[in-house]
């Protein structure tokens, strides 16, 4: 496990234990949008793949509308990027998600979503075909909203994205039964 993951997990635990300021309830209404950065550990699972998890930079952009006081719905674009041993890899999630506060007076939220997870690996060698694939994905996660300004919220978060099986292709080569997973830890800002 990388030092970045441990540091992010400790920061999330510290913020979770912090007392909530009066009037900090995440009162969601109307349109909202947000974005965040962090770290992620990702893995490609297939018969020909290396079984290692790689850490790298991760981020997201999201936006949508409030469905009720404790429920937001929106679209999301999330990604992970890593370069190891001259191989650049990325996972991109295009999806729809729900953010739910089980108790609207609480700052904790849960998140669930569906989408398409796309993978791409390439080298600097122009003669090599990139390795690409995509599959349907599920996302679960959670976080904690901390009011930073009247309409701005700071949110430490953790997300897990897993995919169904699909094909990886590189030129005429096809690897079947490939799946992907990504564990994100980070913090974001949401305007609402």
0.85 surpassed by pTM: no
The answer to the question of residue 23 being in a domain is no
Rounding to the nearest 10 degrees, give the CA dihedral for residues 18, 22, 25, 29: -140
Residue 15: predicted pLDDT: 44
Check: CB of residue 164 under 8 Å from CB of residue 135.
yes
Could you give the CA distance from residue 162 to residue 181 in angstroms, rounded to a whole number? Answer: 4
The answer to the question of residue 137 being in a domain is yes
Nearest residue to 97 via CA among 110, 79, 107? 110
The answer to the question of residue 20 being in a domain is no
The answer to the question of residue 66 being in a domain is yes
Residue 7: predicted pLDDT: 45
Per-10-residue mean pLDDT of the chain, 192 residues long, equals: 46 44 54 96 81 86 92 95 89 96 89 96 84 94 94 96 90 85 96 90
Q: What is the CATH number of the domain that holds 187?
A: 2.40.160.20
Q: Give the count of domains, the chain.
A: 1
The answer to the question of residue 79 being in a domain is yes
- Domain span holding position 170: 3-15+28-191
Q: Which two tokens stand for residue 104?
A: 């609207």
Q: Which two tokens stand for residue 122?
A: 């390439």
Nearest residue to 82 via CA among 111, 121, 117? 121
> Within a 13 Å sphere around the CA of 124, how many CA atoms are in the beta-carbon half?
4
The answer to the question of residue 22 being in a domain is no
């Amino acid at each position: 496990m990388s030092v970045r993951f441990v540091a992010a997990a400790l920061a999330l635990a510290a913020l979770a234990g912090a007392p909530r300021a009066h009037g900090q309830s995440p009162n969601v209404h109307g349109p909202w949008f947000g974005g965040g950065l962090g770290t992620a550990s990702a893995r490609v699972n297939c018969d020909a793949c290396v079984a290692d998890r790689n850490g790298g930079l991760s981020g997201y952009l999201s936006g949508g509308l409030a469905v009720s006081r404790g429920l937001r719905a929106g679209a999301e674009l999330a990604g992970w990027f890593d370069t190891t041993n001259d191989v650049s890899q990325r996972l991109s999630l295009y999806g729809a998600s729900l953010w739910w506060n089980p108790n609207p007076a609480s700052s904790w939220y849960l998140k669930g979503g569906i989408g398409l997870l796309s993978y791409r690996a390439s080298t600097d060698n122009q003669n090599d075909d990139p390795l690409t694939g995509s599959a349907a994905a599920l996302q679960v996660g959670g976080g904690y909203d901390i009011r930073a300004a009247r309409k701005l919220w700071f949110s430490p978060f953790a997300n897990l994205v897993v995919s169904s099986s699909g094909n990886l292709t590189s030129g005429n080569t096809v690897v079947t039964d490939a799946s992907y997973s990504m564990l994100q830890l980070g913090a974001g800002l949401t305007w609402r």
